[in-house]
Amino acid sequence: MNDVTPMRLKSPEPIDAATVETWVFDLDNTLYPARCNLFVQVSARMTTFIEQRFGLAPGPAKDLQRALFQRHGTTLRGLMTEHAIDPAAFLHHVHDIDVTALDPAPRLDRLLAALPGRKLVFTNGSVPHAQRVMQRLGIERHFDTVFDIVAADYVPKPDPRPYARLVEIAGFAPAGAVMVEDMAKNLAPAAALGMRTVWLRSDYDWARDGAEADHVHHVADDLVGFLETLVQPAAEPR
């Protein structure tokens, strides 16, 4: 690793998949597109959790949720820091969603099969949520590790600590890794460690924060379109 200063131009040249030893994928709004609105369900479950815990109407509960998210990066971190909420109860409640809002993703499955390198998931959600999402998409066989918010001791991205812990636990060289994410600011610690980064373009302001910064090395519209620039999948089964 001789280039740890993330000062590269955006999309200077395509990534050569053969040079990537390890792929680090975010989960929500990355392995499936934001337009599926699955994460909208998770957010709505966060609101009902706050309504029930604090005896609030939906409006004030949503206001508290937004304030905690803005102050602490994630709603869970805010609830733990300011209100000593049990994270397990929160995660169980908010991930009780209907994953049939997602369509199975056979093309993504074939692209991942054609993509060389080890594949990991790094999420601010939980392992059970990641497993249900990946099973619904039909892609779980490609990933050997899910590093979740519990493994991160409830310290969410973009705090640098869980990135260092992921590298240590999963045991890979950041210089040979690429991280793919929809929240641009979550790519900053990855770039600082020496990983190459891919931002999946988002219409959400909170996801675009940091998108113009130098820690975003490559930009793509969605994961399938990005992987199509790297590998040729096997032909569709007839």
Which residues form the interface with Mg ion (CB under 5 A)?
26, 28-30, 182
Q: How far is the CB of 29 from Mg ion (least distance, A)?
A: 4
212 within 8 A of 4, measured Cβ to Cβ: no
Least distance (Å) from Mg ion to the CB of residue 57? 29
DSSP at 140: G
Nearer to Mg ion, 74 or 233 (CB): 74
Shortest Å distance, C-beta 68 to Mg ion: 18
Q: In this complex, which beta carbon is closest to Mg ion, that of residue 177 or of residue 187?
A: 187
Distance in angstroms (rounded) separating the CA atoms of residues 156 and 69:
11
Residue 23, classed as helix, strand or coil, is strand
For the bound state, the minimum distance from the C-beta of residue 59 to Mg ion, rounded and expressed in Å, comes to: 26
**What are the b/e assignments for 199-227, b being 16+ CB within 10 Å?**
bbebeeeebbebbeeebbbbebebbbebb
Q: Provide, rounded to whole angstroms, the least separation between the CB of residue 26 and Mg ion.
A: 4
C-alpha 42/C-alpha 103 separation (Å) is 17
Measured from the CB atom, the residue of 196 and 233 that comes closer to Mg ion is 196
Nearer to Mg ion, 22 or 74 (CB): 74
Contact between 221 and 98 under an 8 Å Cβ cutoff? The reply is no
Report how far residue 220's alpha carbon sits from residue 188's, in angstroms, rounded to the nearest whole number: 17
Separation CA 64–CA 59 (nearest Å): 9
- The C-alpha angle with vertex 203 and arms to 202 and 205, in degrees rounded to 5, equals 100
Q: Which two tokens stand for residue 103?
A: 């369509």
CB closer to Mg ion out of 30 and 74: 30
Q: How far is the CB of 232 from Mg ion (least distance, A)?
A: 27
| Least distance to Mg ion, CB of residue 196, Å | 18
Looking at the chain, how many residues does it have?
238
Rounded distance, CA 216 to CA 186, Å? 10
Q: Which is nearer to Mg ion, 158 or 194 (CB)?
A: 158
Q: Whose Cβ is closer to Mg ion: residue 28's or residue 148's?
A: 28
